[in-house]
Every structure is written in C-alpha cells, then in structure tokens.
C-alpha cells in the first residue's frame, strides 16, 4: 500500500475475501431455490449466524465451536421457514421477510454484551508451493479455510446438481413436483433438506463475517447484504458457476467502495451502488418470475415459490 492506496495485488486479495462472504450463502440459496422454495430470510439467518458464532467463539475460546454455532442457528431458522412454507403451505415471500425481521432482532439478543470485543480470527493457511506463486499465491492460496471451502463447494455443488441422481431429484422437485411425486419421491422431504442446507450455509456466511473477515461483532454489521445474495442468485442464473462470478462482481463493488474513497468520491455515493444494483436485479427477478417461458430460458426453477399439495 502506497499513500493509503491499495496495490493491485492487495485489491485482488481483498476481493476474494469479500466475495467469499457473498458466495457461501448464495451457494446454499441456489440449492434451496432449485427445490422450488424461495427463502428471503437470508439476511436474518446471516446476521444471527454472525452474532451466535462470535458469542460462542469468544465465550469458549474455540473458534470451531463458533463456526458450528453459526451453522446451527442458520439451520434452525431455516427450519422455521420450511415448516411454515412446506408443511403449512404459507406464502414464501411473507415467511422469508418475517424471518429476516425475526433474525435481525435475535442477533441483537445473541450479540448482547459482545459488541466491539476483540477476537483472534481464522488464520490464513499457506498452500505449499501454490502460495509462493507471485500475485496468484497471495490472492488465492494464502487464505483461511472458509475461503478454500467456497472454492471447493462450487464444483462439488455443480457435480451434485447435474451429475448425480440426487441432484436430478432436487431439480425435478423444483421444476415439476407433481411428476416427482408420481415417481415416488417425497417432495416435502427433499424441500426440507434443501431449505435447511441453505440455512446452514447462510449461518456459515455470517460466521465467516465475524470469525474470518472482520473479527468483531457490531449489531447490524451485515448491512442488508443478505438481499444482495438474492440478486446474485439471479445474476448467476441459479447455477453454481454463475453465482461464483456474481459473488465476485459484488465482492468487487464492496472493495472498490473503500478504494475509490481515496480519490475523493463521496462515500454515500459508493455505499449506494451495491444497493441500487441489487434493487434493479430484484425488480427484474420479480418480473421474470411471472413469466414461465422466461423462467425456463434463464434457468429459474419453474415451480419456484409454488406450494406443493399432495393429491
């Protein structure tokens, strides 16, 4: 860093770190939506996961227990959404928004007394040989374990969705649940598992924020970025590789906010860019959801947001 301005290598490294925060919950959400369930409670699950993971890690002195706590809380909140929308067939949008409101309030309770306290974060792991490569080594191969996990999950989930029987079942349930049901598939169980997996990943994303990226707890620190995750799902066309690029696009926005401040650009304008972009994508997403032909073209599950009732 010279004169307070990040070098290209430092900027690229920061983008990878920021993008991981978006990528982890997004990978969970595409599995959830591929099964036909929309969960708008991402923000609530992420912020609750962030608070619970920090509280447990700080109290116990064990960062791994903190990670587990974040995933458990995220999974538990998603289970509430699953019960409401799958078992009782209630409106998925209303349930998701309610979950965000509830999760935001819960995070304040879970993080009570922990604001501003210091914590030793997840440490970078140097990959032998690869971390020594100029530029690439410091950008990609000198990161903490959750960054590496995000790298691994992209091809793993692609293989799962498109090359395994279980992945085909998930996609069938999201496209035509009645056809899946007539083939003997338990549609509700598949959707439950997918929704819970999505919640666990959101909780892990929140845990990454407080244990791997910014090692402290501040109430509201996710700053509505859970809504950006929804936009990334659309940008990535509900595909693991697509959302990888989407996460890195928004990760770049996140880092450039701080970089451009060095050139005198007003911070409020920079802070506005990700939110404006998100709103535009969400408006587009809302329009497209009402057009089944467009759904098929862009890759959105045909039965997304459509309740399933056994005949």
Output the 3-class SS for 183-238: CCCCHHHHHHHHHHHHHHHHHHHHHHHHHHHCCCECCCCCCCHHHHHHHHHHHCCC
Q: Is the pLDDT of residue 2 over 50?
A: no
Where is 66: in which H helix or E strand? helix 63-82
Contact between 33 and 174 under an 8 Å Cβ cutoff? The reply is: yes
Which residues, 6 or more positions from 40, have their beta carbon under 8 angstroms from its beta carbon? Answer: 92, 93, 96, 97, 99, 100, 230
**DSSP label at 143?**
E
Confidence of residue 300 (pLDDT cuts 50, 70, 90): confident
Contact between 288 and 298 under an 8 Å Cβ cutoff? The reply is: yes
Which residues, 6 or more positions from 35, have their beta carbon under 8 angstroms from its beta carbon? Answer: 170, 173, 174, 190, 191, 194, 195, 301
For all residues of the chain together, what is the average pLDDT?
91
Token pair, residue 284, equals: 């587009």
> Does 310 fall in a domain?
no
Q: Is the pLDDT of residue 275 over 90?
A: no
Angle at alpha carbon of residue 211, lines to 209 and 213, rounded to 5°: 50
What is the per-residue pLDDT across 26-48, written as a single tens digit (0 to 9) for each?
999 999 999 999 999 999 999 99
Sign of CA dihedral 235, 240, 245, 251: positive
Which residue segment(s) compose the domain that 138 sits in?
8-298
pTM score, two decimals? 0.92
CA distance 14 to 293: 39
Tally the domains of the chain. Answer: 1
> Does 311 fall in a domain?
no
Q: Is the pLDDT of residue 188 over 50?
A: yes
> Does 142 fall in a domain?
yes
Angle at alpha carbon of residue 87, lines to 81 and 88, rounded to 5°: 85
Confidence of residue 3 (pLDDT cuts 50, 70, 90): very low
CATH number at residue 54: 1.10.3470
What is the per-residue pLDDT across 126-179, written as a single tens digit (0 to 9) for each?
999 999 999 999 999 999 999 999 999 999 999 999 999 999 999 999 999 999
Tokens 């591929």 belong to which residue?
A: 34
Contact between 285 and 230 under an 8 Å Cβ cutoff? The reply is: yes
Q: Is the pLDDT of residue 124 over 90?
A: yes
**DSSP label at 2?**
B
> Does 225 fall in a domain?
yes
Confidence of residue 100 (pLDDT cuts 50, 70, 90): very high
Q: Long-range CB contacts (< 8 A, 24+ apart) of 1-6?
A: 4/262, 5/259, 5/262, 6/259
> Does 49 fall in a domain?
yes
Tokens 């992420």 belong to which residue?
A: 46
> Does 240 fall in a domain?
yes
> Does 309 fall in a domain?
no
> Does 1 fall in a domain?
no
What is the per-residue pLDDT across 281-295, written as a single tens digit (0 to 9) for each?
667 666 665 555 555
């Amino acid at each position: 860093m010279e004169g307070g301005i990040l070098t290209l290598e430092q900027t690229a490294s920061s983008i990878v770190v920021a993008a991981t925060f978006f990528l982890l919950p997004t990978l969970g959400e595409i599995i959830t939506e591929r099964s036909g369930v929309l969960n708008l409670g991402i923000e609530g699950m992420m912020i609750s996961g962030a608070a619970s993971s920090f509280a447990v890690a700080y109290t116990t002195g064990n960062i791994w227990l903190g990670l587990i706590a974040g995933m458990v809380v995220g999974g538990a909140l998603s289970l509430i959404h699953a019960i409401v929308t799958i078992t009782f067939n209630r409106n998925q949008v209303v349930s998701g928004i309610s979950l965000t409101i509830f999760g935001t309030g819960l995070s304040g309770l879970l993080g009570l007394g922990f604001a501003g306290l210091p914590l030793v974060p997840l440490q970078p792991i140097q990959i032998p040989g690869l971390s020594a490569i100029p530029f690439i080594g410091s950008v990609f191969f000198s990161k903490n374990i959750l960054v590496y996990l995000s790298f691994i999950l992209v091809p793993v989930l692609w293989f799962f969705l498109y090359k395994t029987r279980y992945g085909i079942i998930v996609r069938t349930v999201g496209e035509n649940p009645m056809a899946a049901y007539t083939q003997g598939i338990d549609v509700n169980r598949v959707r439950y598992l997918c929704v819970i997996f999505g919640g666990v990943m959101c909780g892990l994303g929140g845990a990454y924020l407080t244990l791997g990226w910014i090692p402290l707890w501040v109430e509201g620190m996710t700053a509505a970025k859970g809504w950006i995750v929804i936009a990334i799902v659309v940008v990535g066309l509900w595909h693991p590789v697509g959302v990888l690029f989407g996460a890195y696009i928004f990760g770049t926005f996140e880092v450039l906010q701080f970089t451009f401040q060095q050139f005198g650009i007003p911070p409020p304008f920079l802070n506005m860019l990700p939110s404006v972009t998100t709103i535009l994508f969400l408006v587009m997403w809302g329009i497209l959801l009402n057009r089944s032909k467009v759904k098929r073209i862009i890759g959105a599950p045909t039965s997304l947001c459509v309740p399933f009732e056994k005949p």
